[in-house]
A and B are shown apart, each in its own frame.
Chain A
Amino acid sequence: DTAVSQTPKYLVTQMGNDKSIKCEQNLGHDTMYWYKQDSKKFLKIMFSYNNKELIINETVPNRFSPKSPDKAHLNLHINSLELGDSAVYFCASSQDIAYNEQYFGPGTRLTVT
């Protein structure tokens, strides 16, 4: 059973489009995260939710909006996609906010053309 899953794994789209990436965890964790890995391979946190409440909101353009319908899901919506949004996006979860061990999904490679 996959602990943290993301769909789709690959996403190719044109500039200006709106797209979503879905994330689900079956670990019973309370906290979920979105990370972006850019072309230089840096992994940077974008958002975190704890029990559906937004905890971390890094300096991310307003075009990015996370949505957590329940604590097992954290989706990422991106409006008006730009070339610079091309990256690998990783979802992660942890038992709760006090636990640093985070479990990552396989990533979604987004390519904006």
Chain B
Amino acid sequence: DQQVKQNSPSLSVQEGRISILNCDYTNSMFDYFLWYKKYPAEGPTFLISISSIKDKNEDGRFTVFLNKSAKHLSLHIVPSQPGDSAVYFCAASVGVSSSNTGKLIFGQGTTLQVKP
């Protein structure tokens, strides 16, 4: 039972354009969402996150949007750069309170290729 899904295994974008990576989830108890970026032979690195009390969080070229009613989040990268080429994982967790176990549920990743 895959609770976090990234239905697009790959995405190709021209440099300078917008990249939009999508993620869907099924568990309505999830209240914190994160995006990780992963280069080959390296571990995932934290990129940006959003709490369920917000619908948007922005950090430089990266913006995450959350649509709770649709159980959908997206990561926008603008402008895209060749160095952004990597695998992007979306992750979700339950609870930022003291009851949080720290468990992250990951999607299967989307490979982004930004062409020069």
| A binding-site residues for B, Cβ under 8 Å | 4, 31, 33, 40-45, 48, 50, 55-56, 90, 92, 94, 97-107
A97 and B100 contact, CB distance less than 8 A: yes
For the A-B complex, the count of residue pairs with Cβ-Cβ distances under 8 Å equals 64
**Bound form: Cα–Cα A102–B101 in Å:** 12
**Bound form: Cα–Cα A40–B106 in Å:** 12
A107 and B46 contact, CB distance less than 8 A: no
Tell which of A4, A41, A92, A100 has the most Cβ of chain B within 10 Å. Answer: A100
Contact with A along B39-61 (1 / 0, CB 8 A): 00111111001000000000000
A43 and B101 contact, CB distance less than 8 A: no
A107 and B42 contact, CB distance less than 8 A: yes
B101 and A97 contact, CB distance less than 8 A: yes
B:67-99 near A, CB below 8 Å: 87, 89, 93, 96-98
A100 and B44 contact, CB distance less than 8 A: no
Known: A42-B108, A44-B106; 6 extra A-B contacts, CB below 8 A, are A45-B104, A48-B103, A100-B49, A103-B46, A104-B45, A107-B42
Instruction: Report the nearest A residue to B2, measured CB to CB.
Output: A42
**Bound form: Cα–Cα A33–B106 in Å:** 14
SS class, residues of chain B in contact with chain A: loop
Contacting residues, chain A, for B104 (C-beta < 8 A) = 45, 100, 102
Q: Which 3 residue pairs of A and B lie closest in terms of their CB atoms, listed nearest first?
A: A104-B43, A43-B106, A97-B102
**Bound form: Cα–Cα A48–B36 in Å:** 19
CB of B62 within 8 A of chain A? no
A98 and B41 contact, CB distance less than 8 A: no
B49 and A101 contact, CB distance less than 8 A: yes
Contacting residues, chain B, for A42 (C-beta < 8 A) = 106, 108
B108 and A41 contact, CB distance less than 8 A: yes
Contacting residues, chain A, for B34 (C-beta < 8 A) = 100-101
A-B contact pairs, 13 of them (CB 8 A): A31-B102, A33-B102, A42-B108, A44-B106, A56-B101, A90-B44, A98-B97, A100-B93, A100-B104, A101-B46, A102-B46, A103-B45, A103-B46
Task: Report the minimal beta-carbon distance from B11 to chain A, rounded to whole angstroms.
Answer: 15
